[in-house]
Amino acid sequence: MNDHPNPIASLVWTFGLMSLFAVGGASSAVPEMHRIAVDVQHWMTDKQFADMFAISQLSPGPNVLIVTLIGYSVAGVAGALAATVAMCGPTAILAYYVSRILQRSSQSRWPALIQAALVPLSIGLMAASALILARTSDQSWIAALITIVAAIFAFATRLNPFWMLLAGGLLGFAGVV
Amino acid sequence: MPPESPPVAVPAPDLPASTPPIHPSLLELFIAFAKMSLAGFGGVLMWARRGIVEQHRWMTADEFNETYALCHFLPGPNIVNLSFVFGSRFRGIAGGLAAFAGLVGPPMLIAIVLAAIYARFGEIDALRRTLEGVACAAVGLLIAVIFKMATPLVKRRDVVGLLVMLAVFVAIGLVRWPLQIVLLVAVPLSLAITIVTRRKVKA
């Protein structure tokens, strides 16, 4: 482990900065989280990162929970709280002020324009997230098949995603993966 | 369908504009967002819409879409931004914090408990295998979201959008360049392209 003099400060700095660049939400920032947590800071291994993502999907709630889990594994409960607040705080404050400004000039066309420009970017970022996670998780044909089947079910049906996670977990438990 | 059912089958009409504004209290905000959050596996948006628009009727569908669009174009976790903006609209900063705490607090506790179990028992073989299976399915869910988001681009034959998407994918996913650098190039570029193409369409 690469012990940083103050892990909490390092978490706050990392995620506070990242939140301002997380175009399209927390899932888009997964490659950057992976780059920093695994390659730069050596907080965890590739495998642990994939596990954190799985646990974050297994918990109900917003996708930002993966940040909570990274924070926890670096510095316990205090790290979890610090990382989460750092990831949510700056942009929540930004959103608060921007929404107040826009309420005064409600016919502004900029939000729609910027959103249209950012959508392809955030899809590209999420696709990169999927690639990085799949590289670690899908080490066998069966594993890749589970991913593909889950993707098809989630795309084509309105089934609660929880059932697909459960099915994956049961197959893993049975030793199929 | 039995003959008496049609009135039920008619989709609920939008609320009349005369409905008096309902102002949720701090506790109501906290509880409402905690409920939405705890119901939401793999995304809270659907539940947030259901809770805010259909169940509590704190916003009309249009107001909700506008607020969500705003929170989506700003960086950061969208639904977190939404909770703060929404809560603060009714009860100021305290309302924003109450909604935020409801959204993030309870699931955070669950995630921390799961993480503690992982840290303590993560080496046990059965647990590791189970989590491996969950991880495979979780990636599948993410892929499904990507395809859902990309479908409109494909339908519109938005070649430029798809190229931008591909370029970002390669730069971040394959080359592994840092996010900031890629965005500093890609955001202005994509914005310029969008403005130019919209002008062309109008002309």
Averaged pLDDT in 10-residue chunks for chain A of 177 residues: 73 94 87 94 93 90 93 95 95 90 68 80 91 91 95 90 92 90
pLDDT over 50 at B6, yes or no = no
- Cβ of A88 within 8 Å of Cβ of B76? The answer is yes
pLDDT band at residue B14, thresholds of 50, 70 and 90? very low
- Residue A170 has what pLDDT? 96
Higher pLDDT, B129 or B7: B129
Please enumerate in sequence order all residues whose Cβ is within 8 A of that of B40, keeping only pairs 6 or more positions apart, or say none.
Answer: A60, A61, A62, B46, B47, B48
pTM for the complete prediction?
0.84
Cβ–Cβ < 8 Å for B33, B102 = yes
Q: For B59-85, how does the pLDDT look when each residue is reduced to its tens digit (9 = 90+)?
A: 888 888 878 877 877 888 889 999 999
- Cβ of B133 within 8 Å of Cβ of A172? The answer is yes
Residue B165 lies in a domain: yes
**Alpha helix locations (H) across chain B?**
6-9, 26-39, 45-49, 61-73, 78-121, 125-155, 159-169, 179-202
- A141 and chain B in contact, CB less than 8 A: no
Residue B9 lies in a domain: no
Residue B72 lies in a domain: yes
Q: How many domains does chain B have?
A: 3
- Write a three-state SS string for chain A: CCCCCCHHHHHHHHHHHHHHHCCCCHHHHHHHHHHHHHHHCCCCCHHHHHHHHHHHHHCCCCCCHHHHHHHHHHHHHHHHHHHHHHHHHHHHHHHHHHHHHHHHCCCCCHHHHHHHHHHHHHHHHHHHHHHHHHHHHCCCHHHHHHHHHHHHHHHHCCCCHHHHHHHHHHHHHCCCC
**Rounded to an integer, what distance in angstroms lies between the CA atom of residue A144 and that of residue A135?**
10
pLDDT band at residue B116, thresholds of 50, 70 and 90? very high
Exposed, middle or buried: residue B154 (CB in 10 Å: 0-12, 13-18, 19+)? exposed
What phi, psi does A58 have (nearest 5°)? -75, -25
Residues B85 and B174 in one domain: no
What Cα–Cα distance (Å) separates residue B90 from each residue in A88, B26, B84, B96, B99?
20, 9, 10, 8, 10
Residue B191 lies in a domain: yes
Residues B192 and B203 in one domain: yes
In chain A, domain spans: 7-108
Residues B167 and B191 in one domain: yes
| Phi-psi sector, B5: left (phi>0), alpha (psi -120 to 50), beta | alpha
Residues B59 and B105 in one domain: yes
- Residue B3 has what pLDDT? 40
Tell me which residues of chain A, numbers 108 to 137, contact chain B at a CB-CB cutoff of 8 Å: 111-134, 136-137
Residues B144 and B192 in one domain: no
- Cβ of A130 within 8 Å of Cβ of B74? The answer is no
- Cβ of A132 within 8 Å of Cβ of B77? The answer is no
| 3-state SS, residue B189 | helix
The average pLDDT across B102-111 equals 94
- Among residues of chain B, what percentage have pLDDT more than 90? 48
Residues B47 and B140 in one domain: no
**Rounded to an integer, what distance in angstroms lies between the CA atom of residue B72 and that of residue B79?**
8
Cβ–Cβ < 8 Å for B103, B4 = no
Q: For A83-108, how does the pLDDT look when each residue is reduced to its tens digit (9 = 90+)?
A: 999 999 999 999 999 888 877 665 66
Residue B4 lies in a domain: no
**Rounded to an integer, what distance in angstroms lies between the CA atom of residue A69 and that of residue A56?**
7
**Containing structural domain, residue B108:** 19-121
Tell me which of A39, A101, A125 to substitute to probe the interface with B (most B C-beta atoms closer than 10 Å).
A125
Cβ–Cβ < 8 Å for B104, A61 = yes
Residues B146 and B164 in one domain: no
What phi, psi does A123 have (nearest 5°)? -65, -40
- Residue A33 has what pLDDT? 95
Residues B79 and B140 in one domain: no
Residue B1 lies in a domain: no
- Among residues of chain B, what percentage have pLDDT more than 70? 87
Of A62, A102, A136, the CB nearest to B70: A102
Of A21, A102, A149, the CB nearest to B179: A21
Cβ–Cβ < 8 Å for A55, B111 = yes
Residues B25 and B110 in one domain: yes
Residues B48 and B113 in one domain: yes
